[in-house]
Structure 1
Amino acid sequence: MSEQIKAIVEHLNKEPFKKNFNLITFDSLEPMQLLQLLNDVLATIDPKQDIDIREEMPDQMARRMFSLLGMLKYKPPGNPSDTSNFRQGLVTGSKPVIHPILHWLLLRINELKKRAYLARFLFKLEVPAEFLQDDVVADTYHQYEELVESFKNYHKECESLKSSGFSTAEIRRDIGSMEEEKDQLIKRVDRLKKRVETVSNHQRMLELARQLRVEKEREESLAHQKQEQKNQLFHADQRLQRSQQQLKDLRQAAADAKPESLMKRLEEEIKFNMYMVSDKLPKELESKRTTVQYLQKVVAEPVMGQAELGELEDKIREMNIQINQLIEKRMMRNDPIDDKHSLFRQQASIISRKKEAKAEELQEAREELASVEKELAHKNSQARDSDGAEVIKGDEFKRYVSKLRSKSTLYKKRRQEVAELRAEYGVLQRTEDILKQRHEALQQQLQSMEAKKGISGYSNTQEELERVSSIKSELDEMKGRTLDDMSGMVKKLNSVIAEKKAALAPVIKELRPLRQKCQELTQEYEEKKAQYDSCAAGLESNRSKLEQEVRGLREQNTEEESRYHYINCMRQVIEMQMQRAADEMRAYVSPDPQERRKAVREQYTKNITEQESLGKKLREKQKAVRESHGPNMKQVKMWRDLEQLLECKKQCHLRAQSQASIGHVIQEGGEDRLVL
């Protein structure tokens, strides 16, 4: 508990609370102060909770806090079913109730802010089914659900954009750089225009350049169209070849296909489908149902504490011990009949598992084949939409692979050359570093020798003197060459300066009073600007306060409107239910038999009697069918035997006729030979 209080005090002393509590002052808070502190924390999470609890009734305060904590998914410690003590402790400001709530809220305040913000927009209104039968209400509710889903999508996009790394400062910086580039391009265009305007006949040249550019663009478009037509012709030839090959394959398949093979394939598919429908799928469905029932049962159970979980683990351990004892007893009994049955059961279970595994493999293979065929069709459609042709196959693909291999070998060769060049560059860089190090070592050695001899800096001075002497000689040469030019230029500049001074003298006289006036106006401007800034800041703060008040009033108005509509709808629903109940009561107690038949109770009673009579007839019919089943089956067997007997007699009669006709023909042939 002390660790919990330390964490609460630590969080309350940070932003945005800044309470400056310590353990003693926090522990000495009265119940009303503790409740106000809890309300301040809830107001930080949800601004609508910013209320002075002294102006609110205790029941309303408890209901408001209880609903908000339920929305935030707070689970009180201890027995979950004991909500009355929790509610009473929340009303009275009990420390064992308030401290865990504060600890839970302060540890995850950012997450709870987001949850409260989303709950305000994702709270779904429960509309009764009677009102949804109206088209207008149903359309409005459907539109409301679509808006909720769109808000979810927009919120996800906003969160992804926030986490993507983009910032408004970077975007503004990019926009500023783009505007600067735009200004530079405009200036360059203006400079080029000014430069071109000095050329004679520049309009004609510009027109010719424009025509040349148009003709080049047209030439490029024609070349592009020519290439596209060549590609289309090539792809059309490929499609023709593939279509001819497919036609040939289909003809061969149709020639090789036989009714027996088709029937055999169909029988295999029927057997597989029958197995899936009769054995596999019902078992899976039953297992899913049991899993769902078990999960529903687990969800319906109250939340278990650590003691209950320990009891369940002890029960599971005892049951495992009992199961092991029963298995040992069964193994000690060693009944040979049971052993034979267990062997057969084991073999049957192995065969069933193999059968199920093969069925699953076949199902997965079919699904994979269907997905691959679907993906292939999708890829073909994409390729057809983008290139106007299908994916290459056969020899074309082989040629394409060989071309890729040649390109890959060339790429490997070039990459090896680049690696060699990089290695050589590394060696040269290393050589340069070594030479630099040697040069530095020699320089240090030279400096140490100069220091020993008492002439430190001699080499540097010598190099500097040589460099200065060379620069001096070059400057002397340049001075000698340009002395006359400079003297003439000085004279010219002096004359120009004198002319400019004479021209600027009256302007300077006029400028002096204007400068003084500019200074006065600048000072007045600074004073006015300071007054404007202070006034604008005050107006901006007032405007922000007014906007916040307007926003709060609008939210309150929206909440009150939604509450009014909800209460109105519930009132109409209750009135409709009361009307239906009154109509039912009126019909039920009415002396008119026609009116009484319209009652729901009478209709349900009539339906029950009809169904009972129908069930009685069906049971009688079932009994008659069961009694006549044995004699009918015997009669069917007798008719089948009679049919076989008649068929046998028919075959014997046909065989006797054929033998008699053969003997007659033989006899006629012998008589003919005797006559000859």
Structure 2
Amino acid sequence: MYEHYQQLQNQFKAVHKEVDQLRASKSRPGELRREIGQLEEESQQLTEKIANLKKKSASDPGFQELLAATSALRKEQEEQAKLAERKRDQMLSLSLAEKRAREAEARLQDLRASLSQDATPEQLFERLQSQVARNNDILTTKFPAEFRTQQETLQRLERALSEPPKTEHDIADMEDEVQALRSTIQQYQAQIADAQVAQGSGDGEDKLAVFRQHANLQARKLAEKEEELEQLRADKQRLLRSTEELEAKLASISGSKFMSRDEFKQYATTLRNKTNQYKKVKAELAELTAESVVLHRTEQLLKSKDADLEGFLRDLERQKGVSGFLATQDKIDDVSVQNARVNALKGETLEEISRVVTDINQALKERKNQLAPQIKELRTVRQRYQEMEQVYLERKAQYDHTAVGLEAERLKLEQECAAFQEDALREESQFHLLHCQLQLQQGKADKIAQEIEFEQGTSNARLLRDIRSFQELYKHKVAQQESLTKELRKQQKALKTSAPAKKQQREMFEGLLHLLSCKARLAQQDNQKNGNANRNGGGVGGVGQDMFDGRADIAHFDVGGANVMTLEA
């Protein structure tokens, strides 16, 4: 009893977990029911299509062979698609593995280079810092750029998928455009080759730069046109959607184009009433026609008795005060005749409509009689369908229950696998780190052993030709740096000592140069004013001209360690 209680308790826990997982999932019962209903409808449609195809192909003798061949072809195509997908995944995995191998090989070469060279810890630290900076640069620059590129590609593909399918005319236009662009590129390439052959290497490079600039301009224009084309396509899609919405609204306002059953019955009742009314009016019309014949005969007899009947009638109308009565009566009779003709046409139309209605009713009766066996069979099939649906729902409930349990187990295994993989990666990283540290310490230990060997002098080994050990090498470098520091300090002191005098001399020379420039400018102005007399007389303008037209020499010489400039005529 207690074991049964524990089993029930464990079963309750498992069911409770499954319910929590189902609640946490994004799927909703209403959506699932709609999807199930849609799938059932599609399944029913497919079943009907298959049954129709079987009926049509039952009389075909070679259908089974064709079916076997198409089934084999479909299986081969599915297998080919699976193999292509597997090949693509393996190629992607191969490229990733090669990339990781190249990165690992580069790191290995860096480590070997650092171990093979006699590098100090500071140099190793700087090298690691540069590697970290390079990795940061890749992380902040290269990866975001690749991510943006992939996003743009994804957006472009989504736009391409959202566009309507291309017609053959659109494809032909695009192929013509591509062919035109290819011909243009070939022309440009031919022009570039001709220019390089004709002008040589130097001129060819200039021409090539011009053509490149032109090609870049054309590419930019092409990109602008493509953007404009994309915008126009988006506008076209928006207008098409707006048109469809307006058409849907118009259809909802205008209503159905065909009469319903009730409307048809009402129309048939109205038609029968009008037919009965037409028959009554037709009988009255027959009576009136007979009476009209009698009256017409009477009129002829009266006209034969009195030749001037019309004059007599006009006089009689004038006496009675109703002039124009007969003319008006004739017009009324003409209108009555025309109305009778129209009514006759309407009667014929109504008879035609009644005959059509009778034919339709007869056709409906015949169709009902033809469909009666199929309706009976449909009821049987519907009952069998309900039974199969009940079995299907039970099996589907079992499947869903099993699928939920397996999905939960799969998620648990994936989580455990991910945790184990993280542990393995962490241990591998720690191993590589410790291995590198071990190699560094081993290199330091080897260096210390060499230094001890050099100091003890147990062998004739030396670090360099004139230097025995690392200690002597570092002392020699320290001495060189100290002597270089002393020399630089002497030069700094000499520069500080001579700096004020040289600065003052430079300022005086700049003032002198400014003064001479002013004198030369004034002399040129005086020379332009005075004309030929001043040019022949010499004067100040001549002196300025002699001073600045090449007859004055500027000499430099050293006085007390400073550079002195003199002007010699």
TM-score normalized by structure 1?
0.26
Of structures 1 and 2, the larger Rg is shown by 2
